[in-house]
Amino acid sequence: MTRRWRPGFEWLAVVPLVIAAVRALVTRWIPVGENALMSLRARDVLTEHHPWLGTASSGSLTSGTTVSHPGPLLFDLFALPVRLLGPGAGLVIGALLLHSAAVLVAGAAARRAGGERLVVIVTLAFIALQWTLGPQLMLDPWNPHIVLMPFLAFLVCLVAVAVGHSRLLWPAVCFGSLVLQTHVSYVLLVPLLALGATGACWWHARTGGIVRRDWATAGGVFALLWAQPVWQQLFGPGPGNLGLLLRSGDSEGRVGVRLGSRLVAEVVAAPPWWARPSFDRSVSDMPVLDADGGRLPTAEWLIGGAMAALLLVALAALLVALAVTAHRRGERVAVAMLAIALGGVCLAVVTTAIIPAAGYGIAPHQLRWLWPLSIWWMVAVAYTAVQLLPSVADGIVRARWLAPGMAVAGVALCIPSYVVPVGVARAPGSMDSVRSIVEQMDGVEIPPAVFEPSGMWIGEPYSVPMIAALLADDQPVLVAPDAAAQYGRGRVAGPDVAWRLSLRQGAEALVCADADRLALDTPLADEQVADYRALQQQVLDLVVGLAATDATLQAEIDGLGRPLVESLADGSLTAAVLESTAALSDDDLALLAAFDVQRTALGIDTVAAFVRPLDGLYGQGCD
């Protein structure tokens, strides 16, 4: 049907990836927040800090112990490019190679299973997913996002396997293992869909003969890819992670089928489905239980229960009806695609239903696989329609530029900048600000220091890049025991560590002179910083003078239990002065008011890094 498109039609889906990579390299993209952890642990591969597992899972919040995603395959893949090119370019090129491989292998599998018709539809599916994500997220190394295109490739490989192409077993094993090891939310989707496809492959091979070499190759690849998490479970340091993951599913209180169905329907069955701006708006953070364990009211943005059930039943009926028709017509590939789509939707409901309801409840990153599934059922329906309706196929043949034109238009839509404020991109603080802190770390020498995470807002993007930069420079940065899963057990601080590394924001970032900081980034000009510090000193002099003549005020200051500059930075010192019986003139009140205005105006745009004695108070020596 489509001989004119045969010369690598799937390569069109690589073009947006290349353009996104070039843009990231030109703009000096660097990993921020948790993305920096990907580069850090990739550098650890085959070193004394070799990662045997994936990153720590959010399931740790409800399991009562720290659990990690099943395996380190993503770190292994990124290890070489990060070593050769550095954290920023290394992750960009690594993600580009991974996603390009997903597109091209999926194209080869589609060609083997369904010919050029399926290649065209699968290529358009990858371009659609790229358009949904936009250039910023297309190569995002954060583990919920980096596996979306490999998961779509996994589904395509399963189709080829299900119709008897056993040579595609090992690519399916590779993509499935990568997806499952990188994010545990695929724990039902990947194994059960793979089991169904391999069962169908075995069934079809009964008459033609099972190609033992293909099955042996797939088995060997599976054993190799899962050797690291299995070794950690049996012989590694600490408790076995795979066992912890299994036991973590025993907690009481689940999201439940009713709520799970509504969440699945929101993306898979209801408009705008997978299209922009669904990735940002279709699913939001949603607590499920209150502090007493009672169910909270369902968020207003979520589709109603009756409508969700109706849409899911209608979708299932459509898939079943098409599958029955395709089976009668002998369209095995269409039947396999529709079966995978139907199984994926059913497993999506079960997967969502068993998410623990405790903790923060539903988070979008737990459900990102809904977007490839939403695209997939449409791919299955489109291919089935083309196969069952000869007039449609003939029309496509006559409109020789229809499919290439759609692909080129899709590629063009993927090029313009499109910011989706999800995941790491949602964190306040610009990449330039993080880059400034990281660059100031170049050449810094510190004593052995344990990182202290307090003092910043949740989700801030600075800590991990700062730690990664220092570790890349062989500086002795250590972490608390509860961070061992993220940074490696070999980096846990011992009892002899006497220093701490910390970040502070706003006024607390300016409490010390420049010589006492490792790095500082602020939108203020040097003159503004100097004026602020001069005003800070005036207030300190005023407070010291007042306390010298007012024993009650001195007692209140002593009761704060912190250096004056720290109490001044968070507002507690001026509050204590204003509430005291100290005699304050109008000028004194004006000075305190002016300082508080400047202090609160600093916000979170001013950030600084410090190394301080562990047994002392933050801010000591700065008065």
For 443-465, what is each residue's pLDDT tens digit? 899 999 999 988 787 778 899 99
* C-alpha radius of gyration, the chain, whole number: 28
d(CA 58, CA 531): 43
d(CA 478, CA 492): 6
pLDDT digits (tens, 9 = 90+) for 357-395: 877 789 999 999 999 999 999 999 999 999 998 877 777
3-state SS class at 85: helix
3-state SS class at 519: strand
For residue 565, what are the contacts with CB-CB under 8 A and spacing of at least 6?
Answer: 511, 512, 536, 540, 619, 622, 623
pLDDT digits (tens, 9 = 90+) for 1-48: 444 444 589 999 999 999 999 999 999 999 998 899 999 999 999 999
Select from 134, 144, 535 the least CA-distant residue to 370. 144
What percent of the chain lies above the pLDDT cut of 90?
63
Mean residue pLDDT of the chain comes to 90
Length of the chain equals 623
pLDDT number for residue 252:
60
pLDDT number for residue 4:
47
Select from 523, 527, 529, 525 the least CA-distant residue to 430. 523
pLDDT number for residue 420:
87
d(CA 244, CA 233): 9
92 neighbors 376 (Cβ within 8 angstroms): no
112 neighbors 160 (Cβ within 8 angstroms): yes
pLDDT digits (tens, 9 = 90+) for 74-132: 999 999 999 999 999 999 999 999 999 999 999 999 999 999 999 999 999 999 999 99
What's the sign of the alpha-carbon dihedral 424, 429, 430, 432? negative
pLDDT number for residue 405:
92
Structural domain boundaries of the chain? 1-243+401-406, 252-388, 431-613
DSSP-derived secondary structure for 526-544: HHHHHHHHHHHHHHHHHHH
Task: Inform me whether the pLDDT recorded for 249 exceeds 70.
Answer: no
pLDDT digits (tens, 9 = 90+) for 268-280: 999 999 999 999 9
Written in H, E and C, the secondary structure of 378-429 is: HHHHHHHHHHHCHHHHHHHHHCCCHHHHHHHHHHHHHCCCCCCCCHHHHCCC
Query: Per-residue pLDDT averaged across 422-442, rounded?
Result: 81
pLDDT number for residue 406:
93
Task: State how beta strands 449-452 and 477-478 pair.
Answer: parallel
Give φ, ψ of 604 to 5 degrees: -105, 10
DSSP-derived secondary structure for 153-202: HHHHHHHHHHTT-GGGHHHHHHHHHHHHHH-GGGTTHHHHHHHHHHHHHH
413, burial (CB in 10 Å: exposed 0-12, middle 13-18, buried 19+): middle
d(CA 337, CA 408): 25
Can you read off the two tokens belonging to residue 140?
């995002």
Select from 256, 304, 264, 258 the least CA-distant residue to 282. 264
Q: Tell me which residue has tokens 């050029």.
A: 116
Q: Tell me which residue has tokens 């979008």.
A: 364
Residue 555: pLDDT band with limits 50, 70, 90? confident
d(CA 230, CA 60): 20
334, burial (CB in 10 Å: exposed 0-12, middle 13-18, buried 19+): buried
Task: Inform me whether the pLDDT recorded for 432 exceeds 80.
Answer: yes
Residue 576: pLDDT band with limits 50, 70, 90? confident
Query: Per-residue pLDDT averaged across 546-550, rounded?
Result: 86
Q: How many CB atoms lie within 10 A of CB 202?
A: 14
73 neighbors 79 (Cβ within 8 angstroms): no
What percent of the chain lies above the pLDDT cut of 70?
93
Tell me the C-alpha to C-alpha distance, in Å, between residue 407 and each of 95, 99, 115, 148.
Answer: 22, 17, 17, 20
Residue 52: pLDDT band with limits 50, 70, 90? very high
d(CA 101, CA 160): 17
Residue 573: pLDDT band with limits 50, 70, 90? confident
pTM over 0.85: yes
Query: Per-residue pLDDT averaged across 595-601, rounded?
Result: 88
593 neighbors 539 (Cβ within 8 angstroms): no
